[in-house]
């Protein structure tokens, strides 16, 4: 496929076939992918990115569906990226998608995409971020990242989301303890889902108490705790309201900006690494192959060979 | 800590404090870490590396413990690396370690280390490999990698293990179907654990049948299926025997070598990336910081900035 920048002009939320094609190209990490991502970046920045995370069984998919319906009712368009750390042992993502497809997937202003993060650099795939940029450039108002499995993605999602919603269930009264720093720090909004359960009040108080131990400051966003029953569609309006509150807060306070700068710095370095990797695979393949037997036999340290490769790479650019 | 190469001479399986200190240094990915890893590589290559993988609840920890005891009875030393993809939602690793510590952890010829892979490049941490090299250089006869959670590590472990043991339980009669290519391809030995369960025979036949669909060739290892009851210590002798058979097979057949070459190639490129990242963080920090606002505001593509950073990096080495 030769790249014609004109094609990006046709990218819109209504052109799902083109969206799918561009995403597939972008996923390939080819030179073309890099070219496309460079070109379309100028059209990004309008989509608001929401992350939905939390332990398995907390109702993340249901919450995502209800949230999407509410946003649609407000005449917004929504893209959902289901991030699957791909346990080879679970078919969670596929099943989840199928259920969802019947519900909202066929609607005009909705686009759903699963991303398997297996084998990628970092828990949350670089691909996820690139795909979000494609959907952003296409013009979606909201992009929802939903983590499907368990793992690193749960925490990484906070890096790329403007608002991170952490979903918990009441029975995790003690599991709240267990979650400790990790989730407490990334949440912009807590959702206590399945609040028809008897332990709901206790879990709510316990969560509030934990949050009150944190540092208070008007310049730092204080994450609210919302009670929802996603299956019954209760509490979703409040969720949308609180997401918007957080959005407004970040618009007015620079404290949120720090997180974004840090994220972009990481992203840029990751891209540089990708570019170097590509160039090395092309240019230093012979050098590596020639010395590989020495490494496999334990006679040459991979670290020493890596240094040689790097020197070779640098000198080839002189 | 200044590095004195002499200290590596003191590294031995009996010097657990030094092992722990060197591992901690190596985990830091500092310049010192790279120096140490370069130096000690020449002493690696004697430890045999076994990977124990499989779905949660298959009894991987119990199997690892029993396997370790059998190897100890054969007068071998064993290092266990528990690889935890670190869901922030589970305390599995810690608990597992504590149980194990009471059982075998205090024995002279055993060393146990947990590795959290969170935030690392790739599902299985680069750290895991570096730690294995330290333990190899210390002189352990066997290194067992045991995955604790669910995720990418399950598959990655096959890359770094000489023999990969995939553990299943009988009730996964249909889950065997679900596992498809992923696990089938990485297994050198299958263990059907908890074989006192009624579904055991059915699961065994089903697994055998699936394996027979594969390509047969004398040059390619055919993974055996073993029945065990790890809790009762039944079938462990056969497991050790089959691991040794696989070891012998790989010693005599070059087909196993291909996998190792591929792995080392990946590893070398990963190290080059790490080195580049270090140098860029030092040398291009100003360039990135100066342009970061333009990226955050959506006016400059991170891909364009990354290219500039790379050019800057190359020209600074001219």
pLDDT of residue B42: 84
Asked whether the beta carbons of residue A304 and residue B38 sit closer than 8 angstroms, the reply is yes
Which residues, 6+ apart, have CB-to-CB distance to B12 below 8 Å? B138, B139
Q: What is the mean pLDDT of residues A42-65?
A: 87
The pLDDT-based confidence of B71 (bands split at 50, 70, 90) is very high
pLDDT of residue A10: 92
Asked whether the beta carbons of residue B121 and residue A121 sit closer than 8 angstroms, the reply is yes
Which chain A residues are within 8 Å of B119, Cβ to Cβ? 122-123, 152
Give me the percent of chain B exceeding a pLDDT of 90.
Answer: 30
Q: What is the mean pLDDT of residues B6-12?
A: 90
pLDDT of residue B28: 80
ipTM score assigned to the predicted complex: 0.76
Which chain A residues are within 8 Å of B125, Cβ to Cβ? none
CB B145 within 8 A of CB B113: no
- The H-or-E segment that residue A131 falls in is helix A126-138
Least confident of A6-20, A91-105, A200-214, B198-212: A91-105
* A246-265 pLDDT tens trace: 999 998 888 787 888 888 88
pLDDT of residue B153: 62
pLDDT of residue B17: 92
Q: Does B118 touch chain A (CB under 8 A)?
A: yes
Answer whether residue B125 shows pLDDT above 80: no
Answer whether residue A178 shows pLDDT above 90: no
Answer whether residue A276 shows pLDDT above 50: yes
Q: Does A107 touch chain B (CB under 8 A)?
A: no
Answer whether residue A116 shows pLDDT above 60: yes
Global pTM reads: 0.70
Q: What is the mean pLDDT of residues B32-49?
A: 89
Q: Does A178 touch chain B (CB under 8 A)?
A: yes
Q: Please identify among residues 137-156 of chain B the ones whose CB lies closer than 8 Å to any CB of chain A.
A: 149-152, 154-155
Q: Please identify among residues 4-63 of chain A the ones whose CB lies closer than 8 Å to any CB of chain B.
A: 34, 37-39, 41-42, 44-45, 55-56
Question: For residues B184 and B168, what is the distance between their CA atoms, to the nearest angstrom?
Answer: 11
Q: Is A151 left (phi over 0), alpha (psi -120 to 50) or beta?
A: left
The whole-chain average pLDDT of chain A stands at: 81
Question: For residues A306 and B41, what is the distance between their CA atoms, to the nearest angstrom?
Answer: 13
Dihedral sign for Cα B140, B144, B149, B153, please: positive
CATH T-level fold of B37-255: Rossmann fold (3.40.50)
pLDDT of residue A76: 96
Answer whether residue B207 shows pLDDT above 90: no
* B179-188 pLDDT tens trace: 544 677 788 9
The pLDDT-based confidence of A54 (bands split at 50, 70, 90) is confident
pLDDT of residue B178: 41
Which chain B residues are within 8 Å of A121, Cβ to Cβ? 121-122
Q: What is the mean pLDDT of residues A22-34?
A: 86
Reading the block at residue A230, the tokens are: 């996603």
Q: Does domain A43-253 have CATH number 3.40.50.300?
A: yes
Reading the block at residue B6, the tokens are: 């002499």
Least confident of A1-15, A298-312, B143-157: B143-157
Answer whether residue B7 shows pLDDT above 90: no
Q: What is the mean pLDDT of residues A36-52?
A: 90
Which residues, 6+ apart, have CB-to-CB distance to B292 below 8 Å? A261, A264, A265
pLDDT of residue B118: 53
Q: What is the mean pLDDT of residues B202-207?
A: 83
Higher pLDDT, residue B123 or B253: B253
The pLDDT-based confidence of B12 (bands split at 50, 70, 90) is very high
Q: What is the mean pLDDT of residues B106-113?
A: 88
pLDDT of residue A125: 66
CB B139 within 8 A of CB B77: yes
Q: Where are the domains of chain A?
A: 43-253, 264-315
- Name the range with the highest mean pLDDT among B12-16, B211-215, B260-264: B12-16
The pLDDT-based confidence of B53 (bands split at 50, 70, 90) is confident
Q: In what order do the strands lie in the sheet with B78-84?
A: B110-116, B78-84, B142-147, B48-53, B163-168, B189-192, B225-227
Name the residue among A44, A5, A24, A4 with its Cα closest to residue A267: A44
């Amino acid at each position: 496929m030769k790249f014609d920048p004109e094609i990006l002009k046709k990218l819109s939320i209504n052109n799902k076939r083109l969206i799918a094609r561009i995403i597939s190209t972008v996923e390939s990490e080819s030179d073309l992918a890099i070219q496309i991502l460079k070109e379309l970046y100028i059209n990004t920045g309008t989509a608001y990115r929401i992350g939905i995370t939390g332990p398995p069984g907390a109702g993340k998919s249901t919450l995502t569906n209800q949230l999407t319906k509410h946003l649609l009712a407000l005449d917004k368009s929504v893209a959902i990226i289901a991030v699957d750390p791909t346990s080879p042992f679970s078919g969670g993502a596929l099943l989840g998608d199928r259920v969802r497809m019947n519900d909202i997937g066929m609607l005009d202003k909705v686009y759903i995409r699963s991303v398997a993060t297996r084998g990628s650099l970092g828990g949350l795939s670089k691909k996820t971020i690139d795909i979000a940029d494609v959907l952003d450039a296409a013009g979606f108002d909201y992009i929802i990242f939903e983590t499907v499995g368990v793992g690193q993605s749960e925490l990484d999602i906070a890096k790329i989301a403007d608002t991170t919603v952490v979903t918990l269930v009441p029975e995790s009264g003690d599991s709240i303890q267990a979650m400790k720093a990790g989730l407490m720090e990334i949440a912009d909004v807590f959702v206590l889902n399945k609040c028809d359960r008897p332990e709901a009040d206790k879990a709510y108080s316990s969560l509030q108490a934990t949050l009150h131990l944190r540092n208070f400051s008007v310049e730092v966003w204080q994450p609210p705790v919302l009670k929802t029953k996603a299956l019954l569609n209760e509490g979703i309006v409040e969720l949308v309201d609180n997401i918007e509150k957080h959005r407004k807060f970040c618009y007015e306070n620079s404290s949120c900006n720090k997180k974004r700068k840090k994220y972009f710095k990481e992203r840029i370095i990751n891209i540089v690494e990708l570019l170097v990797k590509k160039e090395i695979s092309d240019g230093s393949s012979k050098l590596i192959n020639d010395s590989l037997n020495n490494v496999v036999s334990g006679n040459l340290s991979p670290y020493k060979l890596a240094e040689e490769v790097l020197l070779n790479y640098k000198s080839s650019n002189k």
